[in-house]
Structure 1
Amino acid sequence: MSETENETPEPIVPQQSDLDFKINLLFPGVVVRKDLVKAVKGNAIVPSYVLEYLLGQYAASDDEATIQAGIDTVRKILAEHYVHRSESELVKSTIKERGRHRIIDRVTVTLNEKADVYEAEFANLGIKGVIVDSPVVKAHPKLLVGGVWCICDIEYFHSDERSDVPWNLGSIKPIQLSRFDVDQYLEARRGFNTEEWIDLLMQSIGFNPEVFSRRGKFFQLVRLIPFVERNYNLVELGPKGTGKSHIFSEFSPHGMLISGGEVTVPKLFVNNSNGRIGLVGYWDVVAFDEFAGKKKRTDKSLVDIMKNYMANKSFSRGVETLGAEASMVFVGNTSHTVPYMLKNSDLFDELPDAYHDPAYLDRLHHYIPGWEVDIIRGEMFSDGYGFVVDYIAEVLKSMRSQDYSDRYQKHYTLSSDISTRDRDGIHKTFSGLMKILYPGGEATRKEIEEILRFAIEGRKRVKDQILRIDSTMAEVKFGYFDKEATWYAVGTLEEDQYPTYYRRVRTGTEPDEAPANADSLEVGAASAGLFQGHREYQEGQHGVSYDELLVSYLQGASRITIVDPYVRMFHQARNLMELIEAIARGKDPADEIALKLITVENQDGPEKLQKQYEYLVQIKQSAAVLGIVFDVEFAGPQSIHDRSISTDTGWRILLGRGLDIFQRMSDSPFDLATRYQKHRGLKAFGVTYLREPCETEHGNGS
């Protein structure tokens, strides 16, 4: 390699857009080019807000020379002062030899009751027991819960006393913005129209707004509401890789992300043995990562305290009742498609049993449908200008005490049968989005309606699932009236896409419920009319597609196995994906199919093998969206002889050429063959259809 692993290539200077020019003009000194974080980060495991704090000090400019000088300065600061765990002993030696050295590290403080002193522990440096003065702890109480990234001067004085710690804290400065001018912020906001402002916020998060739809942008902005709204309860469940937890770990020094499995009553609320307050007393946002998982063990007492806190904003410490303002965010992964969840359970299906409780769920103000959020891709990241995240974090924090929930009432009125709890959820989401998008209150009637509809939809998604769980709750008409008494109903996207499953009978029976053996009857009927035997196809023949050739034989199967040693090149992977698409078109969207591919690794070098892996991973991700669980098994190069497809319904299809039956196509997007298989020429091949009795038919005595 020509470069060492720690070297980072210089960022390509992007062409500045009109929006970038306006951002720098109206918010000088508090914006930064978002691709610079990657340029300076290297292998430092440090949150983005720490890096952007430093970039904001030295590179908050649109002048290229200033930016490059700032990058060099920040890199130098990180190289000299950021503590890598692997180099902690070297840093300790530096402190000892110099007597004093400045470091950047995560600092956690605890009270040593026996000695009646506060003691600091440095996460990466690996030292603890460092005395911290009481005024420092009073000024920065978050040091006591979860820790804070700080710039510190550490001194070394050795003593003959064994009990003495040789490390002294010379100075400590949490990495947070020192000042914020709200009037300047509101004045500058007036210089942007709504579209520009949304795009500025998207770039501040780190995303390229051009690759997001309007609705997609709103999902990202809702993730900011817990930072701007007190006691806001948000849930987001969806596939992996959509960035659900990123904003709560990287975006703000006022948020704390913890694993859902690490939650305890003392850590979250209060330790009754010493009376110490937990995370909700110090942080604006407490986010629970990896919250989903049916089999996860949960503490029933924690769930009860959490339900009370989410409803009443308070918790008990012995005989004393305490209030807190922390918003609660719950993010987790789903393992099934939306129609599958709707058909078999509900959209909270993945939650542990203790949380799959109407009383808990009813405390949630908004449900972000994570299945609508795109999986993060490289082109989604921004190289434009956005707020230094510490600046926008302080902006949001400064507005937490304000209430914008009534700003829609001069134009619209909510449905009268919306309950108080439903109304609270709608109001808090509406208030949060108003503060984020229109902090000065200057929103048109149409803009207010857009936010109101989005807020209603998110609460409706919560309530509709509760109605599926608890049949005693009354149905609710979600919508609003304008001043002319015109009614506007609000629905969810999944309600429109899957009406059959969304409106399931609440007693638990399925719509148009079929006999228990309906599937086997359908399989038998369909199989009876299919050809069995051998067929040959000629070179150059047209008019053949996977639908007639294969899919008709795969319908009704829940398990399919494909044996094909040659799924390694792009066109071969595309053939497989087209077969998956065809299978998906022929199945019930609420059903899942397990599809297994047995193939061989590409033997033509590591680069081509890596490409093969990439193709198969992308197919797995795309197939999951269609309700097809795709798995791959690699066999030895000499172990596969016959290419075939077999199903749990008894069909076995022998494929002479595997799936690679089509001749090479042109690359023109206007060639019909690229879209329609029947317009493609064939390679010569043969196929044999064999059918054996399946297990279901044996059970029926067929």
Structure 2
Amino acid sequence: MNEIAIQTEEFIERLKDAFDEMIVYKDLKKSNFISSFKLPSFMRDWVIKHFQDDNGEINVDGAVEFIKEFIPKKDEWINIKNRIVMQGENVQFLAKISIRIDIATQEISFELPDFGLGYANTVIPRDVWEDCSSDLLKSEENWGIVELGYQYPDEDNSKGKIKLVSFRDFCPYVVDLDDYKYARESFSFTEWINILLSAADYNPGGYESMEQKLAVIQRLLPFVEKRINLMELAPAGTGKSYLFGQVSRHGWLVSGKVTRAKLIYDIGKKKDGVVAVRDYVALDEIREAEYMKDTEIQSALQAIMENGAYRAPDNHEVNVDAGIIFLGNIDSTVMNEYQNMFVELPKPFHQPQFLDRIHGFIKGWDIPRMTDDLKVCGWALNSEYFATVLHSLRDDPTYRAIVDALVVLPKGADTRDTEAIKRISTAYLKLLFPNVRSASDITSYDFKKYCLKPAMEMRQIIRMQMGYADDKYQGSVVPEFTIKEIEE
């Protein structure tokens, strides 16, 4: 039965009452015209919302016209430069922007990384900075409508530059976390799981069981909790690259080549890599990844996974809150945690000291191959809003305090096991029970079944693979963590 496609009117009303303007009608089959523009889902939903009526019908012509005008392709950049520099036009479009403040000159410049426009050729006039600084300082990189013009050379400035004329934030609304947490109370556990899946573009009705749905939910753990390191091996076509690469603008998917400078730290530019500015970095196709043979990248990743920091050769420290996610395809003959699944993976995955720093393993073969039946069709949370909520929840320490209060450590528990299990349990609590504000707000049954037990299972697989990597760890098991009974 296709649950999401036949949502009841009563459920839709509750959904709209709980989330108001953050609800959008998603139909990935009918919105293929947007897919042709290769927009990530967080941007797609933003466009759809602006051109959708109360019944979910999209003004296709208006949406296409907007995309063509405001979301240029990379190969259109030369034409945009011509309009700005040679024709003197002001041009507006949607782009990712980062800023730099020069201490020596007090000059403020910006970068559009997707178009190769660097700081050396740009400037933000002081009056524009005063108008836009609050939005531009929200994070290291921000999405929004940039308006660009040209600053001509003069006697004091012999070099012409592209200037920022105005900036409108891509996410103009303010996320109220308390509203989101309170909304959870309006829905059953099953309904909430369906809401999470549809927010990430999946059709809950396409899955055969709750177990399959929860397997997909595992992929959202690093979206909501800092420094969760995971590994997923899965058959091709299960959608792992899509989820990590398209749903949130706060994450980064590496598919193909990447340099140490881009990933970790650029010594020449004295600039931190993406691990320092993203919520997670997902390293895809690790079996073929040449960069995983780079010993400096290996040691940097190991340090980051352990301490959340990396000391560069020039003594600069890169501080990291991002989770490191390793993704790879796996042959059906080795889809079994009770055997060595890492035979064909690069050297680091044959080293127990590297594996030990991975908190948990996702069995991607429990997730069905992506089909049209698994694409969302119905009222759902705007993906941009959803991703922003998960990003914001990363800074809420109360959930970890609840986990600390509930979990009883077994005698002699390994520190890395303890941290891995608590960190994953905390992420599950944020995802599945965001309304929980104290240990007494959740039953022991729910916490054990949906938070603690899956965390232990994910960690146990890593433990077993460490045993295949080194006989010293053979038979190593995660001890039984229990739950403290909390009085109402």
Q: For the superposition of Structure 1 and Structure 2, which TM-score range results when normalised by the shorter chain?
A: 0.7 to 0.9
The change in CA–CA distance for 1:84 and 1:296 in structure 2 (over 3 A counts) is closer
The amino acid across from 2:355 in the alignment is L
| Pairing partner for 1:365 from 359, 362, 375 | 359
Q: Which structure has greater helix proportion? A: 2
| Pairing partner for 2:250 from 251, 254, 257 | 254
Deviates more, 1:77-86 or 1:361-370: 77-86
C-alpha separation in 1, matches of 2:60 and 2:443: 41
The answer to whether 1:475 aligns with 2:468 is no
The change in CA–CA distance for 1:411 and 1:329 in structure 2 (over 3 A counts) is closer
- CA drift of 1:259 comes to 3.1
The change in CA–CA distance for 1:360 and 1:215 in structure 2 (over 3 A counts) is same
Partner of 2:223: 227
| Pairing partner for 1:102 from 70, 92, 102 | 92
The amino acid across from 2:66 in the alignment is I
What SS does the aligned partner of 1:223 have? helix
Q: CA offsets, 1:219-257, max 9 Å, x none?
A: 221211112111111111121111112122211121112
Could you tell me whether the CA contact under 8 Å between 1:417 and 1:477 is conserved in 2? no
| Pairing partner for 2:68 from 68, 79, 83 | 79
| Pairing partner for 1:55 from 48, 53, 56 | 48
- CA drift of 1:168 comes to 2.7
Q: How does 1:556-635 map to 2 (within 5 A)?
A: none
The change in CA–CA distance for 1:275 and 1:464 in structure 2 (over 3 A counts) is same
- CA drift of 1:89 comes to 5.1
Partner of 2:326: 330
Could you tell me whether the CA contact under 8 Å between 1:121 and 1:130 is conserved in 2? no
Could you tell me whether the CA contact under 8 Å between 1:292 and 1:334 is conserved in 2? no
Deviates more, 1:92-101 or 1:164-173: 92-101
The change in CA–CA distance for 1:429 and 1:188 in structure 2 (over 3 A counts) is same
C-alpha separation in 2, matches of 1:272 and 1:229: 29
Partner of 1:193: 188
The amino acid across from 2:38 in the alignment is I
What SS does the aligned partner of 2:111 have? strand
Could you tell me whether the CA contact under 8 Å between 1:49 and 1:253 is conserved in 2? yes
- CA drift of 1:483 comes to 6.7
- CA drift of 1:445 comes to 2.7
Partner of 2:34: 41
Could you tell me whether the CA contact under 8 Å between 2:309 and 2:318 is conserved in 1? yes
Q: CA offsets, 1:128-186, max 9 Å, x none?
A: 82324695689646986xx6543111224666999644633212335235411122112
C-alpha separation in 2, matches of 1:450 and 1:419: 22
What SS does the aligned partner of 1:190 have? helix
C-alpha separation in 2, matches of 1:259 and 1:76: 31
Q: How does 1:193-212 map to 2 (within 5 A)?
A: 193-212=188-207
| Pairing partner for 1:24 from 10, 13, 16 | 16
What SS does the aligned partner of 2:123 have? strand
Q: CA offsets, 1:488-509, max 9 Å, x none?
A: xxxxxxxxxxxxxxxxxxxxxx
Could you tell me whether the CA contact under 8 Å between 2:291 and 2:297 is conserved in 1? no
Partner of 2:280: 285
C-alpha separation in 1, matches of 2:46 and 2:336: 45
The change in CA–CA distance for 1:341 and 1:27 in structure 2 (over 3 A counts) is closer
The amino acid across from 2:265 in the alignment is V
Partner of 2:270: 275
| Pairing partner for 1:214 from 168, 187, 210 | 210
C-alpha separation in 1, matches of 2:463 and 2:79: 56
Could you tell me whether the CA contact under 8 Å between 1:200 and 1:385 is conserved in 2? no
The change in CA–CA distance for 1:465 and 1:294 in structure 2 (over 3 A counts) is farther
The answer to whether 1:311 aligns with 2:301 is no
The change in CA–CA distance for 1:85 and 1:279 in structure 2 (over 3 A counts) is closer
Q: CA offsets, 1:613-669, max 9 Å, x none?
A: xxxxxxxxxxxxxxxxxxxxxxxxxxxxxxxxxxxxxxxxxxxxxxxxxxxxxxxxx
Could you tell me whether the CA contact under 8 Å between 1:285 and 1:329 is conserved in 2? yes
Could you tell me whether the CA contact under 8 Å between 2:308 and 2:321 is conserved in 1? yes
C-alpha separation in 2, matches of 1:313 and 1:185: 29
The change in CA–CA distance for 1:68 and 1:148 in structure 2 (over 3 A counts) is same
Could you tell me whether the CA contact under 8 Å between 2:286 and 2:292 is conserved in 1? no
- CA drift of 1:32 comes to 0.8
Partner of 1:395: 389
The amino acid across from 1:32 in the alignment is V
What SS does the aligned partner of 1:472 have? helix
C-alpha separation in 2, matches of 1:214 and 1:469: 33
Partner of 1:386: 380
The amino acid across from 1:103 in the alignment is F
| Pairing partner for 1:131 from 108, 114, 123 | 123
C-alpha separation in 2, matches of 1:480 and 1:367: 18
Counting matched residue pairs gives: 463
Q: CA offsets, 1:429-485, max 9 Å, x none?
A: 11101111101214333221212211111000111110122222362254344679x
The answer to whether 1:173 aligns with 2:173 is no
* Structure 2 gap segments, 5+ residues each: none
The amino acid across from 1:100 in the alignment is N
- CA drift of 1:43 comes to 2.6
- Cα-Cα RMSD: 3.5
C-alpha separation in 2, matches of 1:426 and 1:374: 26
What SS does the aligned partner of 1:247 have? helix
> Percent identity of the aligned residues?
25
The amino acid across from 2:365 in the alignment is W
Higher relative contact order (CA 8 A, sep 6+): 2
C-alpha separation in 2, matches of 1:218 and 1:263: 34
Partner of 2:453: 453
